[in-house]
């Protein structure tokens, strides 16, 4: 008798579910996974989960059963053997420098900049260089699961056009620097051109945020830095800058301004507005509270800091103090790639060995820096960085069936300590699929490879000639 009642109840439930599904809401896309790592405040992970997307926005997050009962979608992306998570946020890049990758290695920052990078840029960089280099970088970032990046380079309109076409999300800086650059004569000229760039791009596309990128306080003086902040203010535009990167800068700042970099920036009013500070390797104990107080987003770039021997940033100390921390690769000429998985791993390992404490900067903290925390650091915390209803649909599906994921005890540990770029299978930004099953859909990779190789040959020939004439 009990069996009959149970069967009756089951039938009723099935009928109810069928009725419900007949009235299911529409979604553009449902994407599923064995584990949905939401990166919400509680670090919730939903097993056998799914996300529903409509008009580029996340409209539901839950178990696959719940989502498929409530929504009917035009496109369903299955998720066996995968983890779904927010796309990675690369808080500091010079994307077009992919074309200068490996031009000069194993040098100190100032020698590398003055003897190789700045001269090479003046000689080769034009808008065509920036177009091809940025396309190459976008291809590499999509392949590796980065969905948002903060860029600082020349010809920002060209960068914005490439980002617009390839579908990524970016904050794109108009670089301000007081020396002849590929696209301006001096600081005043670069600032004027920057204002025009912001006017052209602000509010045009939700994926593109035009910002200012004053280079550093050793390539610009206090007056020029203050003028950059004043120019940004009417647009409420953030500024991205290299801060407290190397012992050279520390000394330069003390010699020229009588104080260290962050105090100097604060002194000229530069920090009175949204600021993204790349590096921050040498903050003093007096400066860390300034970063908290002024809500400065700090972007840690462990590979670049190690490669240029800039030092070890006190990341754990800044996090504990309440600084908004994100993660970045820096340009590929000092990294030499745009791999945020490697950056996460190195960030964790570097803090541990530096403090001789394996408990420092655990995996979850690093994953936060690469997703929700990084998004907050760059001022996009309400828009992206976690899988939550109302946020833009920037998400990636990571394959967990490769041998290095067998077996998996802790998904977050695997994302930080095991996963690499080749595990990323699907990349979606603003609801648009940019990569599916490892195939890039929005960059003409054959053409970009051909053009990048041609640039490489030209640069190599010129460098060989320069070396011969020395
Ligand atoms: Zn940089």
190-242 pLDDT tens trace: 999 999 999 999 999 999 999 999 999 999 999 999 999 999 999 999 999 99
Picking from 77, 85, 3, 2, the residue whose alpha carbon sits closest to that of residue 38 is: 85
pLDDT at 4: 56
Q: Using alpha carbons, select from 294, 303, 346, 340 the residue that is nearest to residue 321.
A: 294
Between 315 and 334, residue with greater pLDDT: 315
pLDDT band per the 50, 70, 90 thresholds, residue 278? very high
Does pLDDT of 249 surpass 90? Answer: yes
User: Ligand 1 center to residue 43 CA distance, Å?
Assistant: 30
Task: Specify the pairing of strand 25-37 against strand 45-54.
Answer: antiparallel
Decide if 137 contacts 93 (C-beta within 8 A).
Answer: yes
For 48, other C-beta atoms within 10 Å of its C-beta total: 15
> Average pLDDT, stretch 53-71?
98
Nearest to 275 by CA among 228, 321, 312: 228
What is the chain's mean pLDDT, rounded? Answer: 94
DSSP run (H or E) holding 91: strand 88-93
Q: Checking phi first, is residue 202 left (phi over 0); if not, alpha (psi -120 to 50) or beta? A: beta
Task: Quote the ligand 1 centre to 208 CA distance (angstroms).
Answer: 20
329: left (phi over 0), alpha (psi -120 to 50) or beta: alpha
pLDDT at residue 50, as a whole number? 98
Q: How far apart are CA 224 and CA 438, in angstroms?
A: 45
Which of 410, 463, 470, 469 lies closest to 99 in space, CA to CA? 463
Q: Give the Å distance between the CA of 240 and the centre of ligand 1.
A: 10
Closest by Cα among 327, 389, 367, 366 to 148:
327
Angstrom distance (rounded) from CA 294 to CA 289: 8
Distance 92 CA to ligand 1 centre (A): 6
Place of tokens 């990524």: 168
What is the C-alpha separation between 292 and 226, in angstroms, rounded?
Answer: 20
244 — alpha (psi -120 to 50), left (phi > 0) or beta?
A: left
Distance from C-alpha of 375 to C-alpha of 359, rounded to nearest angstrom: 25
User: How many whole angstroms from 53 Cα to the centroid of ligand 1?
Assistant: 34
Q: How many whole angstroms from 397 Cα to the centroid of ligand 1?
A: 29
* Domains annotated on the chain, with CATH: 96-380 (3.20.20.140)
C-alpha dihedral over 338, 343, 345, 346, to 10 degrees?
Answer: 120
Q: Give the CA dihedral 340, 346, 351, 353, nearest 10 degrees.
A: 170
CA distances from 421 to 226, 415, 444 (A): 40, 11, 19
* 443-467: average pLDDT: 92
CA of 432 to the centre of ligand 1 (A): 29
The DSSP annotation for 205-247 comes to -TTEEEEEEE--TTTS-HHHHHHHHHHHGGGT--EEEEES-SH
Residues 228, 188 contacting (CB under 8 angstroms): no
What average pLDDT does the segment 263-278 reach? 98
- Give distance in angstroms: CA of 414 to centre of ligand 1: 28
Q: What is the mean pLDDT of residues 129-158?
A: 98
- What pLDDT does 1 receive? 44
Question: Ligand 1 centroid vs 264 CA: distance in angstroms?
Answer: 19
Which segments within 301-375 are labelled E, that is strand? Answer: 324-327
Contact 262, 243 (CB under 8 A): yes
Strand arrangement of the beta sheet that strand 239-243 belongs to: 88-93, 146-153, 169-176, 208-214, 239-243, 275-279, 297-300, 324-327
Tell me the three state secondary structure of residue 413. helix
pLDDT per residue as tens digits for the range 223-236: 999 999 999 999 99
Predicted model pTM: 0.94
pLDDT tens-place string over residues 284-324: 999 999 999 999 999 999 999 999 999 999 999 999 999 99
pLDDT score of 14 more than 80: no
Interatomic CA distance for residues 23 and 74, integer angstroms:
15
The three-point CA angle 449-452-454 to 5° equals 110
Length of the chain measured in residues: 470
Mean pLDDT of 24-46: 97
Which pLDDT score, from 0 to 100, does residue 5 have? 60
Q: Please state the rounded mean pLDDT for residues 104-130.
A: 87
Task: Report the C-alpha gap between 315 and 280 in whole angstroms.
Answer: 9
- Determine whether 160 is exposed, middle or buried from the number of CB atoms within 10 Å of its CB (0-12, 13-18, 19+): buried
11-15, 21-25, 217-221, 386-390: least confident range: 11-15
Of the pLDDT bands very low, low, confident and very high (cuts 50, 70, 90), residue 140 is very high
- Residue 442 · residue 67 · CB < 8 Å: no
Tokens of 375: 């998004």
Distance 93 CA to ligand 1 centre (A): 6
- What is the distance in A from the centroid of ligand 1 to the CA of 362? 26
């Amino acid at each position: 008798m009990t069996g009959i009642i149970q069967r009756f109840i089951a039938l009723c439930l099935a009928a109810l579910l069928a009725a419900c599904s007949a009235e299911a809401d529409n979604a553009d896309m449902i994407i599923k996974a064995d584990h949905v790592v939401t990166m919400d405040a509680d670090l919730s992970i939903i097993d056998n989960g799914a996300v529903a997307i409509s008009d580029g926005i996340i409209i539901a997050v839950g178990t696959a059963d719940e989502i498929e009962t409530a929504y009917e979608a035009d496109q369903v992306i299955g998720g066996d053997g995968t983890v779904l998570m927010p796309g990675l946020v690369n808080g500091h890049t010079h994307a077009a420098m992919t074309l200068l990758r490996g031009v000069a290695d194993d040098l100190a920052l100032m020698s590398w900049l003055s003897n190789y990078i700045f001269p090479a840029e003046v000689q080769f960089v034009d808008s065509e260089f920036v177009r091809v280099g940025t396309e190459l970088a976008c291809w590499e970032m999509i392949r590796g699961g980065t969905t948002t990046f903060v860029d600082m380079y020349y010809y920002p309109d060209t960068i914005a056009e490439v980002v617009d076409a390839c579908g990524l999300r970016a904050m794109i800086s108009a670089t301000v620097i007081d020396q002849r650059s590929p696209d301006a004569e001096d600081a005043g000229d670069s600032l004027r051109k920057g204002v025009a760039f912001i006017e052209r791009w602000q509010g045009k596309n939700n994926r593109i945020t035009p910002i200012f990128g004053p280079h550093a306080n050793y390539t610009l003086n206090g007056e020029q830095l203050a003028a950059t902040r004043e120019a940004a203010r009417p647009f409420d535009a953030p500024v991205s800058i290299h801060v407290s990167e190397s012992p050279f800068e520390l000394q330069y700042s003390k010699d020229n301004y009588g104080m260290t970099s962050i105090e100097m920036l604060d002194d000229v009013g530069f920090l009175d507005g949204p600021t993204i500070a790349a590096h921050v390797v040498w903050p003093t104990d007096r400066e860390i509270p300034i970063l908290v107080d002024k809500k400065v987003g700090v972007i840690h770039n462990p590979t670049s800091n190690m490669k240029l021997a800039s030092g070890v940033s006190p990341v754990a100390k800044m996090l504990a103090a309440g600084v908004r921390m994100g993660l970045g690769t820096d340009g590929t000429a000092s990294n030499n790639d745009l791999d945020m998985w490697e950056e996460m791993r190195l960030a964790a390992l570097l803090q541990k060995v530096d403090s001789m404490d394996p408990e420092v900067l655990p995996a979850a903290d690093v994953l936060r820096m690469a997703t929700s925390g990084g998004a907050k650091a760059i001022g996009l915390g309400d828009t992206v960085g976690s899988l939550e209803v109302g946020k833009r649909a920037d998400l990636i599906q990571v394959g967990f069936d490769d041998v290095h994921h067998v077996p998996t005890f802790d998904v977050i540990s695997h994302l930080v300590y095991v996963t690499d770029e080749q595990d990323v299978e699907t990349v979606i930004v603003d609801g648009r699929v940019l990569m599916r099953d490892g195939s890039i859909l929005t960059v003409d990779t054959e053409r970009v490879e051909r053009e990048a190789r041609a640039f490489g040959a030209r640069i190599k020939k010129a460098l060989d000639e320069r070396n011969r004439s020395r």
